[in-house]
Amino acid sequence: MPRSLKKVRLLSSREIQKRVGELARSISRDYQGRELVLVGVLNGAFIFLADLVKRMTIPVQVDFVRLSSYGSGSESRGRITVSKPAELPLAGKSVLIVEDIIDTGLTLDFLSRSLQEQHPESIRICALVDKSERRKLPVSLDYTGFVVPSGFIVGYGLDFDEQFRQLPAIYRLEETLDPGAIRADSMPPM
Ligand code: 5GP
């Protein structure tokens, strides 16, 4: 039987904006007087990074990377490549990776190691959502927006099949028997 999904609101726009403001204040305080480059991970982190940088009170440079993953079945994120590298010089700079969500930790582990090759002064990590339940590699987050134990979430940059990125709040997709709900045959395991 085809799977159907409904959206259940998890975090309101107001909650997200409040937390993003707090993160921006902490980052601005911690990086005072340093050469900071925010490296956003496309596409999911674009809204989070934009809101974060608008609230920061120190000079900052912004760059983006895009990663692709290949494989099959539930191991689909097993092989990761960089499809758009960072373009700013990172040697000697303080790099802050800005991610939408950390799930298994494979993407972040790969990205940290890949950016390390450019010899930045430091690499730290800021993630909007830490989804800890399916972690495969240990990840130490320096700035975390929200901890969500499990489930598949959308909105505020996060998509399902390229839908829902534009929503200002964050929703969990849940299975439902309502035949009018979102069809979800291609959804990854939650
Ligand atoms: P990881 O390598 O940590 O397993 O995966 C991180 C990436 O998987 C995220 O950047 C995001 O693209 C995707 N991802 C993991 N969990 C979710 C989720 O709940 N919702 C959405 N939309 N993407 C997710």
What pLDDT sits at residue 182?
A: 72
Atom of ligand 1 nearest to the CA of 102: 3
Tell me, what's the pLDDT at 116? 97
Kindly report, residue by residue over 26-38, the tens digit of the pLDDT: 999 999 999 999 9
Most confident of 17-31, 62-76, 170-184: 17-31
Of 58, 79, 53, whose CA–CA distance to 67 is shortest? 79
Distance from chain centroid for Cα 159: 11
Q: Which ligand 1 atom minimizes the distance to the CA of 44? A: 12
At 117, list the tokens: 């090759």
Is-catalytic flag, 103? yes
Range 13-151 classified under CATH 3.40.50.2020:
yes
Residue 3 has pLDDT above 90, yes or no: no
Query: Is residue 153 a contact partner of residue 130, using CB atoms and an 8 Å limit?
Result: no
**pLDDT tens readout for residues 81-130:** 999 999 999 999 999 999 999 999 999 999 999 999 999 999 999 999 99
pLDDT at 178: 73
- How confident is the model over 137-169, as pLDDT tens digits? 988 999 999 999 889 999 999 999 999 999 999
Distances 28 to 86, 106, 132 between C-alpha atoms, Å:
22, 28, 26
Q: Which of 7-11, 70-74, 143-147 has the lowest mean pLDDT?
A: 70-74
CA atoms within 13 A on the CB side of 39: 27
pLDDT at position 189 is 56
Q: What are phi and psi of 104, to 5 degrees?
A: -70, -25
Distance 102 CA to ligand 1 centre (A): 6
First-to-final CA distance of the chain:
18
Torsion angles phi and psi, residue 56, rounded to 5 = -80, 150
CB 37 within 8 A of CB 95: yes
Please tell me the residue having the least CA distance from ligand 1 atom 12: 44
Choose one of 98, 103, 172 to mutate for the ligand 1 pocket test, by most ligand atoms within 8 angstroms of C-beta: 103
Task: Please report the DSSP string for 117-137 in residue order.
Answer: TT--SEEEEEEEEE--TT--S
DSSP β-bridge partners for residue 123: 95
